[in-house]
């Protein structure tokens, strides 16, 4: 009896915070761990956005060429089947570095189109939830296809502790919910690929 091979979904993970100790970066780190230990059928690659210059079309060269850091970022997005955004909330919206990265990869040809996507966030109060709504609005124009459920916004400051002193997610309930997000993202990506 032949065992069907598990189709691997490649996920580009992007953190909208540049701070090394960011709770949102901790969510990406936990997602990476889950993909290696618990959730099969996916490979998550953290894609750094800090090297990207601020969007300035004067930096684009002849024939639609881009600065090296932008080219490398765009290539990572093109190669991915899906995108996992860890989006902090800044002034009820997405962070400037995240919007900058989104804008660079949306330059013609749009690298985001047709991809499955999910959003996770950690912060105070609503746990970054308002950034989800703006990111979903941006995604409509970019032809990103976000999962609807489960939603994941984590109040990082409400007891009990959600992260350790190194920014690692330690809350079992939140970890389980993050796993559910990854499973939903994988299923959604497979549906979009027609698999």
Q: How many helices (H) and strands (E) does the chain have?
A: 5, 6
pLDDT band at 117 (very low <50, low <70, confident <90, very high): very high
Predicted local distance difference test score (pLDDT) of residue 153: 94
Cα gap 51→36, rounded to integer Å: 27
Residue 49's alpha-carbon distances to 12, 36, 97, in angstroms, are 11, 23, 7
d(CA 134, CA 151): 14
Residue 160, preceding bond cis, omega within 30 degrees? yes
Q: Which of 60, 43, 37, 31 is nearest to 169 (CA)?
A: 31
- The residues pairing with 118 across neighbouring beta strands, listed in sequence order, are 84
Helix 172-193 with 23-37: angle, nearest 10 deg: 70
The model's confidence at residue 1, banded by pLDDT at 50, 70 and 90, is low
- Confidence category of residue 116, pLDDT binned at 50, 70, 90: very high
Q: What is the pLDDT of residue 3?
A: 56
pLDDT value, residue 85: 98
Is 0.75 topped by the overall pTM? yes
Please indicate whether residue 45 or residue 166 has the higher confidence score (pLDDT).
45
Question: What pLDDT sits at residue 6?
Answer: 80
């Amino acid at each position: 009896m032949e065992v069907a091979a598990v189709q691997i979904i490649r996920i580009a993970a992007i953190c909208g915070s540049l701070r090394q100790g960011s709770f949102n970066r901790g969510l990406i780190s936990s997602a990476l761990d889950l993909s290696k230990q618990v959730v099969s059928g996916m490979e998550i690659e953290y894609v750094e956005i800090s090297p990207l210059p601020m969007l300035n079309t004067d930096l684009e060269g002849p024939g639609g060429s881009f600065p090296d850091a932008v080219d490398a970022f765009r290539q990572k997005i093109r190669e991915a089947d899906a995108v996992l955004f860890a989006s902090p909330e800044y002034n009820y919206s997405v962070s400037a570095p995240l919007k900058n990265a989104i804008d660079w990869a949306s330059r013609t040809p749009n690298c985001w189109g047709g991809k499955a996507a999910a959003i996770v966030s950690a912060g105070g109060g609503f746990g970054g939830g308002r950034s989800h709504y703006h990111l979903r609005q941006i995604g409509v124009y970019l032809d990103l296809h976000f999962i609807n459920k489960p939603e994941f916004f984590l109040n990082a400051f409400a007891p009990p502790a959600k992260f350790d002193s190194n920014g690692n997610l330690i809350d079992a309930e939140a970890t389980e919910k993050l796993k559910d997000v990854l499973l939903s993202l994988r299923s959604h990506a497979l549906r979009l690929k027609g698999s």
